[in-house]
Structure 1
Amino acid sequence: MTGLLFTSKEDQMPIELMYISGKGDITHRTVIVRDIQDDYIKAFCLTKQQPRLFKRSNILSAAKVRRYAKTAF
C-alpha cells in the first residue's frame, strides 16, 4: 500500500481508499496524495472536492482507480 501512496503523490495519480473514520463509519474515497507523514496522509479528496487528512492506521485498503477521466486538478 505504501508504494501506491508514493506513486499517487509523485505522479498525481488518483487512487481509491477504503477508510474507517474515528466514529467507525467506512467510506470510499478517490484521492490524490499530496504529502505522506508517519501517521497521516494529506490528500485532495476528489469525492468531497476538498483537502483531507487521513490517519494511516485507518486506511483499510488502497487501489488504483479502474477508470478515471483525467481532468485538470
Structure 2
Amino acid sequence: MDRLLKNAIQTRQKLEMIYLDADNQSSHRIIRVLGINKNIVKAFCFSRQKIRTFKTENILSIGPVRHKRMGA
C-alpha cells in the first residue's frame, strides 16, 4: 500500500478507497493523496470536498479509480 500511496502523490492520481470510520461504518471515498506521515494519510477527499486525514489501519481497500463504461 505504501508504494501505491507514494506513487499517487507523485502522479497526482485519484484513488478509490473503502474506509472504516471511528463508528465502524464503512464509506467509499475518492481521494487525492497529499502526504503520508507514519500511519496517517493526508488527502483531499472529493466526497467531503476538503482535506482529511485517514489512519492507514482503517483503510480496508484502496486502488486506482475504476472508470465505469458507458452502456455497461
2:16 is matched with which residue?
16
2:63 aligns to what?
63
- Deviation of residue 33 (structure 1)? 0.3
Which aligned pairs between 1:46-61 and structure 2 lie closer than 5 A?
46-61=46-61
User: Please, which runs of 5 or more residues in structure 2 have no aligned partner?
Assistant: none
What is the TM-score normalised by the length of structure 1?
A: 0.86
Rg larger in 1 or in 2?
2
Cα RMSD, aligned residues only = 1.3
Q: Distance in 2 between matches of 1:15 and 1:58?
A: 15
Total equivalences in the alignment: 68
Whichever residue aligns with residue 31 of structure 1, its letter is I
Identity %: 34
Amino acid at match of 2:18: M
2:37 is equivalent to residue 37 of structure 1: yes
Shift >4 Å, 4+ stretches? none
What SS does the aligned partner of 1:15 have? strand
